[in-house]
A = this chain, B = another copy of it.
């Protein structure tokens, strides 16, 4: 008998009707002979509703109390789903993060899972129950409720799958898998049958919002087989995209996907003294304030002077700019500029590890369309470039076609 962990996001449990559909799917799997653990998020809109109440009190509410508040969202979903399953004649039990024994560190609103006690899960599975677990939450060693941050339900599901040695962790979402590009930008984008953890990770960080990065890291570390699939597809046999350990065959493909982001802005400081430790000072200050810096490029503009450019989410731009200006002032440099009119285009593929010339091909494809590259950043299996925001759609289409992704077989 296999063990399947399923995770449903907020849209999939957005109302009572949808919750009943999830209940039916869970029961159908159970009847096929699987043991089932279901991890759910808060109903769509619920978390924001709770946050809005908190923000009426304070724009930066106490984090312990915020976790106490928002964790109720998932608690509502699990109880309703368990009721729905029982109402359909099957046994089920809902459990909060604390009840499952998901122990985290004490970092409220962005806690990390430290351990999971699987005894109670095994006991309930043995009794034939479908177990419903609240995603996104745990408790610290003192019993305080903690939450894992945005996308935390994915992480809960993967962690539960790892701890219980589940055969597969199915992530249900509103798309039916991972695509070579966003189908809204590229109509002939292809659904991938498989993708490696590393590729998924790079895609997640470059704009493909299918899976939360941290859950992919977790899955990679514990080698949990992930499947991304649609909760709106009624068939149980339709496959989604499997996120798996990479293999040699995968390297035959040069590029697996094209991703883009338009929710970042660029900050530039010019004429910094060319001395060691300046970049460290800047990025430590930003990290201390929880600013998520993405691309960084440093270049020398003239003798003994450097420029540093980096991108941050637009939601953090104001705070990041203030911090950067303070640092710039302390270095007697006043030239801090910002550009919100940018986009980031990325290509991802583990084939890059063994194939050279991919960057050159990417740049020439973009150059042919007169798309100017403002910043370039590369990793082992990813190449990203900052370009003008209004060129993003064209860039995605050109790269998708240029790397023959519409004919990709994976």
Of the stretches A51-59, A207-215, A295-303, the one at the interface is A51-59
Q: Could you mark each residue 122-145 of chain A with 1 if its beta carbon is under 8 Å from any beta carbon of chain B, else 0?
A: 000000000000000000000111
| Chain B hits for A56, CB < 8 A | 16
Q: Could you mark each residue 298-325 of chain A with 1 if its beta carbon is under 8 Å from any beta carbon of chain B, else 0?
A: 0000000000000000000000000000
> What CA separation (Å) do A64 and B145 show in the bound complex?
21
Check: A171 CB closer than 8 A to any chain B CB. no
With A54-B83, A83-B54 known as contacts, the answer to whether A69 contacts B62 (CB < 8 A) is no
Check: A259 CB closer than 8 A to any chain B CB. no
Of the stretches A70-78, A174-182, A229-237, A268-276, the one at the interface is A70-78
In the complex, which residue of chain B has the Cβ closest to the Cβ of A78? Answer: B68
> What CA separation (Å) do A65 and B96 show in the bound complex?
11
Check: A20 CB closer than 8 A to any chain B CB. yes
Check: A256 CB closer than 8 A to any chain B CB. no
Q: Is the CB of B57 within 8 A of A83?
A: yes
8 cross-chain pairs, A with B, having the tightest CB-CB distances, nearest first = A69-B79, A68-B79, A72-B72, A16-B56, A58-B87, A65-B79, A65-B83, A65-B82
Check: A359 CB closer than 8 A to any chain B CB. no
> What CA separation (Å) do A57 and B57 show in the bound complex?
34
Partner-B contacts on A (CB < 8 A): 16, 19-20, 50, 53-54, 56-58, 61-62, 64-66, 68-69, 71-72, 75-76, 78-80, 82-84, 86-87, 93-94, 96, 98-99, 143-145
In the complex, which residue of chain B has the Cβ closest to the Cβ of A86? Answer: B62
> What CA separation (Å) do A57 and B16 show in the bound complex?
7
In the complex, which residue of chain B has the Cβ closest to the Cβ of A61? Answer: B83
In the complex, which residue of chain B has the Cβ closest to the Cβ of A20? Answer: B57
> What CA separation (Å) do A56 and B16 show in the bound complex?
7
Q: Is the CB of B58 within 8 A of A83?
A: yes
Q: Is the CB of B76 within 8 A of A69?
A: yes
Q: Is the CB of A76 within 8 A of B72?
A: yes
Q: Is the CB of A87 within 8 A of B20?
A: no
> What CA separation (Å) do A84 and B68 show in the bound complex?
14
> What CA separation (Å) do A58 and B58 show in the bound complex?
38
> What CA separation (Å) do A144 and B79 show in the bound complex?
12
In the complex, which residue of chain B has the Cβ closest to the Cβ of A77? Answer: B69
Q: Is the CB of B84 within 8 A of A80?
A: no
Q: Is the CB of B75 within 8 A of A68?
A: yes
> What CA separation (Å) do A352 and B96 show in the bound complex?
52
With A65-B82, A68-B82, A79-B66 known as contacts, the answer to whether A53 contacts B143 (CB < 8 A) is no
Q: How far is the CB of A94 from chain B (nearest CB, A)?
A: 5
Q: Is the CB of A94 within 8 A of B65?
A: yes
Besides the contacts A68-B94, A69-B83, what 5 more A-B pairs have beta carbons closer than 8 Å? A57-B83, A58-B87, A65-B80, A68-B78, A75-B75
* A80 interface neighbour in B54, B82, B98, Cβ under 8 Å: B54
Q: Is the CB of B53 within 8 A of A80?
A: yes
| Chain B hits for A68, CB < 8 A | 75, 78-79, 82, 94, 96
| Chain B hits for A84, CB < 8 A | 57
Interface centre among A50, A68, A72, A75 (most CB of B within 10 A): A68
Interface centre among A57, A76, A82 (most CB of B within 10 A): A57
Q: Is the CB of A83 within 8 A of B62?
A: yes
| Chain B hits for A57, CB < 8 A | 16, 19-20, 80, 83-84, 87
